[in-house]
């Protein structure tokens, strides 16, 4: 009986031994695979770190490129403005020279008239002709001034305005209507367009 029981127990031991063997094989297989898995995990981690490290570098490079582009644009704008300023200044100087040249060119005929008048004064005995000649030159000179925007400031019976006139004296007004009005002009004044270039000196009634 004992032998039979022993025979019946043996299969169970065999199964247990097979299970142990299988477990050992699985453990050995896992141990064999673990280094590879660890190596792959390490590589993945390193790649992640490299990506994280390269991202700030890429952003820094992008910012540097943008800053360089803005700096270049700024320098170009400065150069363009400097060229524009120089060109404008040159044009203004040329315009001033041209304007001055035109004025002097227009005034030369008046000088010629004065020279001819001086020559005739020495020889002429007709005072009226001399007077007419001087008046002609004077009128031509007034027209010359008008052509260049210069005109006389009116003073006769005008209300006194300190922005336009210069009072050199005050006299009693002959009537109430003449109070604070210009009684006489001692020296004429002139305007260039709308700007007073010489203030007329006047006597004001009070």
How would DSSP label each residue in 116-146?
HHHHHHHH---HHHHHHHHHHHHHHHHHHHH
Sequence length of the chain is 206
The per-residue pLDDT for range 111-143, each reduced to its tens digit, is: 999 898 888 887 778 888 888 888 999 999 999
pLDDT at site 55: 59
Domain spans of the chain, in order of start: 57-148, 151-206
Taking 70 as the threshold, does the pLDDT of residue 71 lie above it?
Answer: yes
Mean residue pLDDT of the chain comes to 78
Domain 151-206 architecture: Roll (2.30)
Q: What confidence tier does 54 reach under pLDDT thresholds 50, 70, 90?
A: low
Task: Confirm whether pTM is higher than 0.75.
Answer: no
In DSSP terms, which residues pair with 151 in a beta bridge? 191
pLDDT at site 63: 85
The Cα 74–Cα 195 span in angstroms is 41
Taking 90 as the threshold, does the pLDDT of residue 6 lie above it?
Answer: no
Q: What confidence tier does 8 reach under pLDDT thresholds 50, 70, 90?
A: very low
Fold of 57-148: Hemagglutinin Ectodomain; Chain B (3.90.20)
pLDDT at site 57: 65
The per-residue pLDDT for range 148-196, each reduced to its tens digit, is: 899 999 998 889 999 999 999 999 988 888 899 999 999 999 999 889 9
pLDDT at site 47: 54
Taking 70 as the threshold, does the pLDDT of residue 10 lie above it?
Answer: no
88 Cβ contact list (under 8 Å, min separation 6): none
The alpha-carbon radius of gyration of the chain (Å, integer) is: 55
For residues 137 and 111, is the Cβ–Cβ distance under 8 A? no
Taking 60 as the threshold, does the pLDDT of residue 147 lie above it?
Answer: yes
pLDDT at site 167: 93
The Cα 104–Cα 91 span in angstroms is 20
Nearest Cα neighbor of 106 from 134, 143, 132 is: 143
The Cα 198–Cα 191 span in angstroms is 7
pLDDT at site 108: 92
Q: What's the Cα-to-Cα distance from 194 to each of 38, 92, 151, 202, rounded to whole Å?
A: 94, 21, 10, 20
pLDDT at site 185: 93
pLDDT at site 199: 95
């Amino acid at each position: 009986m004992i032998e039979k029981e022993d025979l019946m127990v043996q299969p169970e031991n065999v199964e247990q031994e097979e299970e142990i063997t299988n477990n050992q094989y699985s453990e050995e297989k896992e141990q064999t695979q673990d280094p590879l898995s660890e190596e792959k995990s390490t590589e993945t981690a390193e790649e992640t770190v490299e990506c994280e490290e390269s991202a700030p570098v890429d952003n820094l490079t992008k910012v540097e490129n943008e800053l360089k582009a803005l700096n270049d644009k700024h320098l170009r704008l400065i150069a363009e403005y400097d060229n524009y300023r120089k060109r404008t200044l040159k044009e203004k100087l040329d315009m001033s020279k041209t304007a001055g040249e035109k004025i002097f060119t227009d005034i030369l005929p008046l000088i010629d008239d004065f020279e001819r008048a001086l020559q005739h004064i020495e020889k002429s005995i007709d005072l009226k002709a001399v007077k007419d000649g001087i008046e002609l030159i004077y009128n031509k000179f007034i027209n010359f001034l008008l052509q260049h925007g210069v005109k006389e400031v009116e003073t006769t019976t005008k209300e006194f305005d300190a922005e336009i006139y210069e009072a050199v004296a005050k006299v009693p007004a002959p009537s109430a209507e003449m109070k604070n009005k210009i009684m006489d002009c001692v020296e004429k004044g002139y305007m260039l367009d709308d700007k007073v270039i010489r203030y007329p000196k006047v006597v004001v009634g009070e």
